[in-house]
Amino acid sequence: MTQSVVVQVGQCGNQVGCRFWDLALREHAAVNKKGIYDEALSSFFRNIDTRSGGNGPDVYKGKICSLKARALLIDMEEGVVNEILQGPLRDVFDSKQLITDVSGSGNNWAVGHKVYGCRYRENIVEKLRKAAEHCDCLQCFFIIHSMGGGTGSGLGTFVLNLLEEEFPEVYRFVTSVYPSGEDDVITSPYNSVLAMKELNEHADCVLPIENESLFEIVNKIHQMINSGKLGSTVKQNSLVTSSSGSAKTLQEKPFDAMNNIVANLLLNLTSSARFEGSLNMDLNEISMNLVPFPRLHYLVSSLTPLYTLADVNVPSRRLDQMFSDAFSRDHQLIQADPKRSLYLACALLVRGNVQVSDLRRNIERLKPSLHFVSWNQEGWKTGLCSVPPVGHSHSLLALANNTCVKPTFIELKDRFMKLYKKKKQSIIIIIIIIIIIIIIIRNLAICQQYEVMWFESDIMFQNGDKACDQWRTGNALCELANWSDMNNDSQSWETGERYFCRIDYPLVLYGVFCWNRLENMEL
């Protein structure tokens, strides 16, 4: 059995991660009735003997003493991590698994990546090594972060870089929350694009997620609950957005429902690696089958069902509905419609009491409506896990390597270019203004020079021929030639003005024009 380590970076990463550990504990509690520390638990948790203090050796068999998560919590400000440590999950984390700072990254990728990266590099490497040493056979690192912020995107991608250097054999799965168009962080396009470059080169698999989609799913569920269609009720703990223990008294925090969806995604992804089934699908198989070319590793994910109705009998129609839903636009975790685009590869991970005939029947049924690339016409990877998630009798996770991620990335690029162009134009304007000022000063100096020379020539004429003779000889000739040239061109302030008019005046006009527009932010 292999182990995985979760690295949660930034506010978003830590909040999602917190929900993940909560739901993982709930899932294992539902399956593991005897309280024995088994191999399924060991993939995400360590079992520590608390009697010898926190530094005791791991207990590999026998009853569960104290479970510690295989996780690393990184945040450059203390608020979120402190909240986790004061909440119900405080015993799951060790103080040695945290890296925090006080001031935050100020929504700046460069601060997160370059400044904090350098400062905390040794610390991070040491803690990662420790976490890896506790694992018997480390297979995968899961990184959870957001792309719009500073810590999540900057320091998160720095950690990704580190993981590739220090542990090249271990897979790196990244769950990235992409910013939406109406994001309130102004620099989010810059942060996202800079982070994307790192993801392109160092991640094995990226699961992009958009807040808009999560929000729509949450709304849909609320509508379903509140409409009370046909007198059917929804089982509370089956909601893909619900937390453990169904906190009835506590007010759920605003992003909790959305974060639960992402946590469920991660749980379903790893379910076949943890629990038994008739057709196992391990994490390295996901990377092997869904990544045909090294840089095309962005997977669109969808989770169904979102809730279970409280009837006991589940006719196979419901099962087929689950498969159809997985390919519909509403259930995808990014704003995209995979049915309209080209599939390079698709994976279906089914949990629960579903047999291979149901799977084959649904694949046959759905194939005609999906477009697959020419060299991969039967590009399906399937997995069957016998243990269903909590509250459901079966569930399906669909991962698709599909060209529908293109519009999302193009939009991101457009937002980046809009900001960048504005910045570029304002730099140009500033440079032009500086040039204009230099020209003005130069012209003033020339005019002054003209005046000086004019006076001098006056004096010279007043001094009579003698001076003229002197002027006409030797080096003075050259000066006279130069001076007479200049004199010929622009001997008066008026001619100086003419010179000024010819070249410099249009420049000044343009400068004023740009300044005007800059003030009105019309550029």
Partner 1 sequence: MSIVTVQLGQCGNQIGHEVFSALCSDICGTHGLCSKEENESYQESSKERFFSQEESGVPAARAVLVDMEPKVISQTLSRAASSGHWKYNSHSHFCQKQGSGNNWANGYFVHGPRHKEAIMELVQKEAEKCDRLGGFFTIMSMAGGTGSGLGAFVTQCLRDAFPTSFLLNHVIWPYGTGEVIVQNYNSVLTLSHLYHSSDALLVHENDVIHKICAQLMNIKQISFRDVNQVIAHQLGSVFQPTHTAGGGSGYSRNPLGDLLEPLVPHPEFRLLGLRNIPQMPESSLAFSSFSWPGLLKHLRQILIAKAHMEEGIDWQVRPPGSSIPSTNKPLHFNTSIANLVILRGKDVHSVDLGNFQDPSLYTSWLNPQDAFNAWKTPRAFNKYEKSAALVSNSQFLLKPLDCIVGKAWNMFASKAYLHQYTKFGIQEEDFLDCFTTLEQVISSYTNL
CB of 314 to partner 1, least distance (A): 12
Residue (of 146, 203, 192, 199) closest to 412 by Cα position? 192
Q: Is residue 289 near partner 1 by the rule CB under 8 A? A: yes
Closest approach, Cβ 275 to partner 1, in A, equals: 8
Which residue's CB is nearer to partner 1, number 277 or number 496? 277
Apex 142 CA angle, 138 and 148, nearest 5: 155
The β-bridge relationship of strands 394-402 and 371-372 is unpaired
Which residue matches tokens 């937002």? 415
In the complex, what is the shortest distance from the CB of residue 168 to partner 1, in angstroms, rounded to a whole number? 11
Strands of 205-332, DSSP E: 205-210, 300-304
Q: Which of 2, 151, 395, 490 binds partner 1 (CB under 8 A)?
A: 2
The smaller minimum CB distance to partner 1, of residues 220 and 371, is found at 371
DSSP 178-240: EPPTT-S-TTHHHHHHHHHHHHHHH-SEEEEEEHHHHHHHHHHHHHHHHHTGGG--B-GGG-T
Cα distances (angstroms) measured from residue 230 to each of 195, 226, 239: 47, 12, 19
Coil vs helix vs strand at 93:
coil
Q: How many residues bind partner 1 (CB under 8 A)?
A: 40
Kindly state the smallest distance separating residue 140's Cβ from partner 1, in Å. Answer: 10
Site string for partner 1, 116-145 (x = CB under 8 A): --------------------xx-x------
User: Long-range contacts: 415-419, Cβ < 8 Å, 24+?
Assistant: 415/181, 415/188, 415/189, 416/189, 416/190, 416/192, 416/193, 418/189, 419/186, 419/187, 419/189, 419/190
What is the CA angle 217-219-222, rounded to 5? 115
Placement of tokens 């929900």 in the chain: 19
CA distances from 322 to 184, 236, 362, 523 (A): 35, 19, 10, 50
Choose which of 284, 393, 443, 487 interacts with partner 1 (CB under 8 A).
284
Nearer Cβ to partner 1, position 356 or 452?
A: 356
Q: Which is nearer to partner 1, 279 or 427 (CB)?
A: 279
Binding pattern for the stretch 350-389 against partner 1, x by CB under 8 A and - elsewhere: -----xxxx-x--xx--x------xxxxxxxxx-x-----
Minimum CB–partner distance for residue 430 and partner 1 (Å): 47
Please list every residue from 429 through 448 that binds partner 1, using CB under 8 A.
Answer: none
94 vs 285, which CB is nearer to partner 1?
Answer: 285
What separation, in Å, do the N-terminal and C-terminal C-alpha atoms of the chain show?
A: 59
Quick check: helix, strand or coil at residue 479? Answer: helix
Task: Between 287 and 443, name the residue whose CB sits nearer to partner 1.
Answer: 287
CB nearer to partner 1: give 2 or 105. 2
Q: Hey, how many other C-beta atoms are within 10 angstroms of the C-beta on 387?
A: 16
Give the pairing type, strands 394-402 and 342-352.
Answer: antiparallel
Tokens coding 210: 């958009």
Name the one range near partner 1 by CB under 8 A: 6-14, 106-114, 220-228, 290-298: 290-298
- Interface positions, 484-513, toward partner 1 (CB under 8 A): none
Least CB distance from residue 181 to partner 1, whole Å? 34
Window 312-351: residues binding partner 1 (CB under 8 A):
345
Please report whether residue 475 would count as binding partner 1 according to CB under 8 A: no
182 or 364: CB nearest partner 1: 364
Q: Which of residues 452-471 bind partner 1 (CB under 8 A)?
A: none
Q: Which of 293, 313, 368, 488 binds partner 1 (CB under 8 A)?
A: 293
How far apart are alpha carbons 323 and 303 in whole angstroms? Answer: 10
Read off the amino acid at residue 369. S
Q: Which is nearer to partner 1, 100 or 382 (CB)?
A: 382
Based on CB atoms, which residue is closest to partner 1, 223 or 280? 280
Residue 165 or 375: which CB sits closer to partner 1? 375
Nearer to partner 1, 296 or 476 (CB): 296
Q: Per CB under 8 A, does 393 bind partner 1?
A: no
Distances (CA, A) of 465 to 461, 470, 478: 8, 8, 18
Find tokens 């050796």 and name the residue: 57
CA nearest neighbour of 238 among 40, 386, 44, 23: 23
Residue 90 CA to residue 66 CA, distance in Å, equals 12
Nearest CA among 305, 271, 265, 315 for reference residue 394: 305
Site string for partner 1, 4-43 (x = CB under 8 A): -----------------------------------x----
Report the residue from 180, 200, 237, 287 that binds partner 1 according to the rule CB under 8 A: 287
Q: Which of 285, 320, 411, 504 binds partner 1 (CB under 8 A)?
A: 285
Question: Which span sits near partner 1 by CB under 8 A: 221-229, 271-279, 425-433, 441-449?
Answer: 271-279
Residues in contact with partner 1 by CB under 8 A are: 1-2, 39, 136-137, 139, 276, 278-280, 282, 284-285, 287-294, 345, 355-358, 360, 363-364, 367, 374-382, 384
